[in-house]
Structure 1
Amino acid sequence: MTAMTTPALPAEIFKAYDIRGIVGKTLTPAIVRAIGQGLGTLALEKSGPGATIAIGRDGRLSGPEFAAALADGIRSTGAGVVDVGCVPTPVTYFAAQHLGCGSCVSITGSHNPPEYNGLKMVIAGQTLATDAIQALRQQLLDGRVTSAAAPGPFRTENVLPAYLERILGDVKLTRPMKVVVDCGNGVAGAVAPELFTGLGCQIVPLFCEVDGTFPNHHPDPSKPENLEDVMRALRDTDAEIGLAFDGDGDRLGVVTKDGEVIFADRQMMLFAEDVLTRVPGGEIIYDVKCSRLLADHIRAKGGRPLMWKTGHALVKAKLKETGAPLAGEMSGHIFFKERWYGFDDGLYAGARLLEILSRSPDANAVLKALPNSTATPELNIKMAEGEPFALVAKLQAEARFPAAREVIGIDGVRVEYADGFGLARASNTTPVVVLRFEADTPAALARIQDEFRAALVAVWPGLALPF
């Protein structure tokens, strides 16, 4: 190991599930190069001599410069780089599997505004998250990086044909479908039209031109306001369903013909039902933000529901630990291990959804028949940095919920009632407390919110609540 000159490494860019900062301010080519040195060192430690890391990037304008800096940093350690170009994050994950290197980095700002970029990292099959990301920063601050006499090898590889071939060989539609496909000018636009056309669909493409300025709408399908163009296209054409993707293509949004958003917890009902026909008794993982109706549905179909923490990296780790065939998050990350690789892939999830819906002559009816309840979207309490975790810790220690059937503390406070649930958890990405409420009736929802309001104000007087 040799010492190196390390640029300032702002603590705030080392998030729970990835590295993310503002281009030219908190995230610069020098910082990305340093991170590359750390990742190259880790890959060599885990995989030995000959370790190679696949690099992909989304459509952000800073992507090419960051990819070059990252490759330079990795190669300075003697580790090799395979650059797979401008591709969705799941294609970068696929490259690590397909090329057999086991390590990859996607340079992506995900669903964040254009001025952001970041890195999602997998080393020797392990997604870096939480403590591992903090350890990486400390390793860089300590100068514990390998420095090779000659740079590691570099090559480019186009894995898109293999990715498409793999999905088109796996997913089969019973009938052709007409589908609105909204890529929000994110990098999914480089793949989605060819994929869904290849499946036999006629598509109505929206914003499939990759443009890192995102000129039409923000590429975050978990927010209903970003799905208005899909709804309009469904009204104006004879397409029967709408699919929307986030900026780097690892999350899926779904809209019915009549304009209802089918959030990921209800998508998971369909996916679980399908997977359990081939994996009877399988364990299905979902995060704490999901509807309690999902667990009921999984049980009814013979599966075993397992609630887990929010966060794509944390869910992936749990999937690996349990061997579950399927996992999903309310935010739109769906992880298929059955027939796929266990990483989150919005494009593959969209293909699997169409496979299921194509078995029915009326896709809208299938989606509308999914169990539903009265629920809020995610509500956020904005606070100062660090305060959300302090508030949730006080809730866990002090709050009383007299009518509760169960209080679950795996990620924040989720309070289960006979007729609904309430959730308060600290976001790992922004300084907010995330709230979500669900109930059988509007009256029950109001009652649960009243109990949460009292509990929150009791532990943190003067709190400005969004409900």
Structure 2
Amino acid sequence: MTEKISRSIFKAYDIRGIVDKTLTEEACEQIGQALGTLAHEKKVEKICVGRDGRLSGPRLQKALIKGIRKAGVGVYDIGAVPTPVLYFSTVYLNTGSGVAITGSHNPPEYNGLKMMLAGETLFGDGIAALYDRIVSGDLYTALNEGSYKEVDVVPAYIEKILSDVKLSRPIKVAVDAGNGIAGPLAVKLLTKLGAEVTEMFTNVDGNFPNHHPDPSKPENLVDLQAQLKSGDEEIGVAFDGDGDRLGVVAKDGEIIFPDRQAMLFAGDILAHKKGSVIVHDVKCTRNIRPFVESRGGVCVMSKTGHSLIKAKMKEVNADFAGEMSGHIFFHDRWPGFDDGVYAATRLLEIVTRFDDANKPLKDLPNAVSTPELQIPTEEGENFTLVEKLSKNAKFDDAKDIIRIDGIRVEWDDGFALARPSNTTPVVVLRFEADTKEALERIMKRFKEEILKVAPTAKIPF
């Protein structure tokens, strides 16, 4: 194949681009053949392929499948499903390999691919290697194209969860799916579990006409908060565009951010299994370590990124991981992939043990913190800025500096984090402290050091 393929779409955790500009049908076919070539080398016979609700999904899926089959590898087409159902299919159909065609929480004009092969999620060098194969023409073409079969795995996914998760009492829950692919499945599953569901934007619409399907941004939870205040639901949940992330809102409208969700889930697991290893990313609260350790668990900090967290979980044999962006990974009674819909069922399982479903949420340790803040940069400059900060900044008053992913500076009463995003040209900042005064001091202190190494940086506070 000689068509040029854009290097820019090969990101750290997945492939992502603007449809028909950087991510074309030709590119998807080439990527499919590269994946198929790799599968052929690893003796993988079949790959599961699914897609989210984006308008470009069907044709990109068709092109990808054509490429995979060209390399002689068979395809299970599991249709339009949340990304976690694709992950589930790789276990259920025993392929260990799958591709989700999804733009996740990006605007409608985007789409992308999340990939796993032979039980490993592709990231970093593994994704870059696909690009190298395509441009060098190192692609295998089989004499006979691979097989093709449509399979509906949703009934098995629902049955598996219903056989395991049990609610202690009926509960009324508001579900905001942001018109993403998770809506219909989440409503069906939660109803079968015994919950009464108030549906919000649960019809799939790739134009996302109501709000952006990204529950990590507070502005996308405004409708859910309003519903909880006016309605008789006890709790609210929200999903991102492809259903692998969870947002949670308490009855009074308080957002329970994912690092606090992680404490709730970790506490539940540790009540049944002492010594469990709990992984969290660098953006999470300082409260998580004492919370886990006081309950007999082992706490491990990881780089941010769903692929990197899965790799870390394997390395340390973790029972659970939580990421600040809303990716929640259960590996105690579930196969260890990030699944917002399954996480919602586990949430309801915990809160229905209480007469007041919000009590366990409100009892979680809390701190004064900022949401994710961003410094916009030129492409690649975000890495340079954080590197300079890490090398040159002086934090003599800090008690610890962690450099596993960017720079996280810990004081006795709070922390500051700066890390380069692997998906967009920004530096991600996050701050947390015991008090409002401490938060202001830490933010001011960090800002001073950033401006010393990057005087023109547009700092958002």
What is the TM-score normalised by the length of structure 2? 0.99
Structure 1 residue 103 corresponds to structure 2 residue 97: yes
Structure 1 residue 14 corresponds to structure 2 residue 10: yes
Structure 1 residue 167 corresponds to structure 2 residue 161: yes
1:31 to 20, 24, 27: 27
Measure the CA separation in 2 of the matches of 1:252 and 1:59.
Answer: 17
Match of 1:80 in 2: 74
Match of 1:431 in 2: 425
**Could you say what secondary structure the match of 1:170 adopts?**
coil
Measure the CA separation in 2 of the matches of 1:44 and 1:149.
Answer: 13
Q: Deviations over 1:84-115 (max 9, x none)?
A: 00000000000010000110000000000000
2:387 to 361, 382, 393: 393
Q: Report the CA distance between 1:447 and its aligned residue.
A: 1.1
Measure the CA separation in 1 of the matches of 2:139 and 2:46.
Answer: 16
2:62 to 49, 62, 68: 68
Q: Report the CA distance between 1:190 and its aligned residue.
A: 2.8
Aligned residues of 1:6 and 1:34 also touching (Cα < 8 A)? no
Q: Deviations over 1:116-159 (max 9, x none)?
A: 00000000111000111111111111111110111110000000
Which deviates the most, 363-372 or 126-135? Answer: 363-372
Q: Deviations over 1:415-467 (max 9, x none)?
A: 01000000000000000000000000111111111211111111112222112
2:313 to 304, 309, 319: 319
Match of 2:171 in 1: 177
- Which runs of structure 2 are paired with 1:34-433 in the superposition (5 Å)? 34-48=30-44, 51-433=45-427
Structure 1 residue 454 corresponds to structure 2 residue 448: yes
Q: Report the CA distance between 1:342 and its aligned residue.
A: 0.5
Aligned residues of 2:50 and 2:78 also touching (Cα < 8 A)? yes
**Could you say what secondary structure the match of 1:363 adopts?**
coil
Aligned residues of 1:22 and 1:116 also touching (Cα < 8 A)? yes
**Could you say what secondary structure the match of 1:370 adopts?**
coil
Measure the CA separation in 2 of the matches of 1:315 and 1:9.
Answer: 29
Measure the CA separation in 2 of the matches of 1:330 and 1:152.
Answer: 40
RMSD of aligned residue pairs (Cα, Å): 0.8
Measure the CA separation in 2 of the matches of 1:416 and 1:124.
Answer: 39
**Could you say what secondary structure the match of 2:188 adopts?**
helix
| Structure 2 residues without counterparts, runs of 5 or longer | none
Aligned residues of 2:264 and 2:360 also touching (Cα < 8 A)? no
- The residue identity in structure 2 corresponding to 1:237 is G
**Could you say what secondary structure the match of 1:367 adopts?**
helix
Residues 275 and 6 of structure 1, relative CA distance in 2, 3 Å threshold: farther
Measure the CA separation in 2 of the matches of 1:169 and 1:146.
Answer: 42
Measure the CA separation in 1 of the matches of 2:447 and 2:206.
Answer: 40
Aligned residues of 2:180 and 2:202 also touching (Cα < 8 A)? yes
Q: Report the CA distance between 1:388 and its aligned residue.
A: 0.6
Q: Deviations over 1:157-211 (max 9, x none)?
A: 0000000000111100001110001111100013011100011000001111111
- The residue identity in structure 2 corresponding to 1:255 is V
Q: Deviations over 1:248-278 (max 9, x none)?
A: 0000000000000001000011100011122
Q: Report the CA distance between 1:233 and its aligned residue.
A: 1.2
**Could you say what secondary structure the match of 2:292 adopts?**
helix
Aligned residues of 1:295 and 1:305 also touching (Cα < 8 A)? yes
Measure the CA separation in 2 of the matches of 1:272 and 1:80.
Answer: 39
Measure the CA separation in 2 of the matches of 1:121 and 1:416.
Answer: 35
**Could you say what secondary structure the match of 1:179 adopts?**
strand
How many residues end up aligned between the 2 structures? 461
- The residue identity in structure 1 corresponding to 2:30 is A
What is the TM-score normalised by the length of structure 1? 0.98
**Could you say what secondary structure the match of 1:81 adopts?**
strand
**Could you say what secondary structure the match of 2:237 adopts?**
strand
Q: Report the CA distance between 1:232 and its aligned residue.
A: 1.3
Q: Report the CA distance between 1:307 and its aligned residue.
A: 0.7
Q: Report the CA distance between 1:392 and its aligned residue.
A: 0.8
